[in-house]
Structure 1
Amino acid sequence: MGGPPAGAAPASGWDVESVATELLACEAERRDRPPFTDEWPGLDLDTGYAVRDRTLARRLERGERLVGVKLGLTSRAKQQRMGVDTPFVAWLTDAMVLPVGDAVPRHRLIHPRVEPEIVFVMGERLEGPGVSAASAMAAVASVWAGAEVIDSRYRDFRFTAGDVAADNASSGAFVTGPVGLPPAGLDLSLEGVLVEVDGEVVDSATGAAIQGHPGEALALAANDLARRGHAIEPGWVVLTGGMTDAVDAPPGVSVGLHFTHLGSVWLRGGEG
């Protein structure tokens, strides 16, 4: 009693539709903004996912094609650094695919940063709930090295869980490496990566940084999507989450991501 009627917009004026519109406008205009939760504290995780799904619908309406999902903040260290306590699941479309050899597309992003990923291409449909890491890995056709170019529509990458879910987990672009291997025989918890910037190794990690094993992240994604009526489809690409901190790639700078068995991915910073 005494509250706003069901379906009414919050006092801030923001709602799912208007936040989706603003995020897509920020992306198109290459501008950042403060997090919406500064004005709309009610933008919780579930509401953020509703915004995420609305922006996907708008992308599909304008001709983009859904090609997979990505996980964000799967590393506990990165969760603590960003002030959130859960990984996020977001959508990948064909407009986010970066062709091999292309530079980081700074001309269409706000403040892009590069992070190494272990990437799955799915062979079978994977639907939760109750998916385990073992059953998740059984649905994988091949494993690849990858680089995600993360971006954020929020100034200084400052956001809450609801904000970043709405922003499709800071999606930008992604590229996969030259080597695709079957998962059998790979110990992905021990798959290492060295991050090289202009010839200097600046970071390293193993697949254990991703929820203990990338298969755990895949299972998490399937189970989380099931809560909202979605499944991971055959042929989809799944980015399992950044293994290390993301690094900047200013114009002309070369970033190399060197994996133990999955080869290397090279990116150079493009012009703004």
Structure 2
Amino acid sequence: MTLDEIASALRDAEKTGVPIAPVRAHLAGAEEAYAVQEINTVARLGAGGRLVGRKIGLTNPAVQAQLGVDQPDYGMLFADMDLPHGAELPWCEGAQWKAEAELAFVMGRDLSEPDCTTAEAMCAVEYVVPALEIVGSRIADWDIRFVDTVADNASSAFFTLGPSARRLTEIDLLDCRMEIRAGDEVVSRGSGRACLGSPLNALVWLARVMARAGRPLGEGDVVLSGALGPMVAAAPGAVFTASTEGFGETAIRFGD
């Protein structure tokens, strides 16, 4: 398969809800996987999509080791992926959705330098809000390796932001505790330290990488930090509420 054929197959899988076989056998490495992602980014923009941010994935060292990589990955966030707090996401046949609690940076300034510093990133953050990302691999049975998820836009699907915004000076990014509840049951726990040691580390990494890739972070962009704890598999009728200490909560429900 060519890179264009892989990209087309992934677009079709997203459109039809029918996952495809892993694509890693057709990719030489991360560079080609990101090329596939960029093909589909351009296609989505050409069809009227609007780029509103980025997501960072694979921020947990244990998950990196499992996939045999030593760095995170990234994907694109579009306006039609943004769900209101507490919204119901209609269940789709073939969906492989999972939820993970994150923090989202809302950018107040551009970050266009490939050697972006931590201080510059801190100055550029307008607000931090709690977030839930709904990931949904287009690869059957989540049978993925690093290049599979990169080509598949980092397995992104939807995201929702909580209604409470905080300034960096008001919160603790490191020791904030996170819980995801399904009803009264706690199904995931974590903290800010689980995300590359600090969600701010993840932001700096992304700012540098996106500047080099020619899609630098800009004012108003949303940046999903990466998971603060384990992902939770969704099912029809599920309701997830993520609470992060110092940030409040955000919630999503899935249709029957």
Common fold, TM-score beyond 0.5? yes
Counterpart-to-counterpart distance in 1, 2:187 and 2:44:
36
Look up the match of 1:147: 132
Task: Map 1:1-272; keep pairs closer than 5 Å.
Answer: 14-38=1-25, 40-42=26-28, 44-107=29-92, 110-271=95-256
Contact 2:105-2:127 within 8 A present in 1 as well: yes
Q: Aligned letter for 2:78?
A: T
* Count of matched residue pairs: 256
Q: Residues 129 and 80 (structure 1 numbering): CA distance in 2 closer, same or farther, change over 3 Å?
A: same
CA contact (8 A) 1:27 1:109 kept: no
Note the alpha carbon deviations across 1:223-271, whole angstroms, 9 max, x for none. Answer: 1112222210000000011111111221222211111111111222223
For 1:229 and 1:89, the matched residues in 2 are separated by 13
SS of the residue aligned with 1:107?
Answer: coil
Alpha-carbon distance, 1:84 to partner: 3.9
Unaligned runs of 5+ in 2: none
Aligned CA RMSD, in angstroms, stands at: 1.6
- 1:128–1:225: 8 Å Cα contact kept in structure 2? no
1:183-221 deviations in Å (ceiling 9; x for gaps): 113220112211112211122111111111111101110
Corresponding letter in the other structure for 1:32: P
Q: Could you say what secondary structure the match of 2:216 adopts?
A: coil
Q: What is the alpha-carbon distance in structure 2 between the residues aligned to residue 72 and residue 146 of structure 1?
A: 14
% of aligned pairs identical?
33
Deviation at 1:83, TM superposition (A): 4.7
> CA offset at residue 81 of structure 1?
4.0
Tell me, which stretches of 5 or more residues in structure 1 are unaligned? 1-13
Structure with bigger gyration radius = 1
Taking a change above 3 Å as real, the CA distance of residues 41 and 57 of structure 1, as seen in their structure-2 partners, is closer
2-side partners of 1:200 and 1:192: how far apart?
16
TM-score normalised by L of structure 1: 0.89
Q: Distance in 2 between matches of 1:46 and 1:17?
A: 14
Partners in 2 of 1:126 and 1:204 — Cα distance? Answer: 31
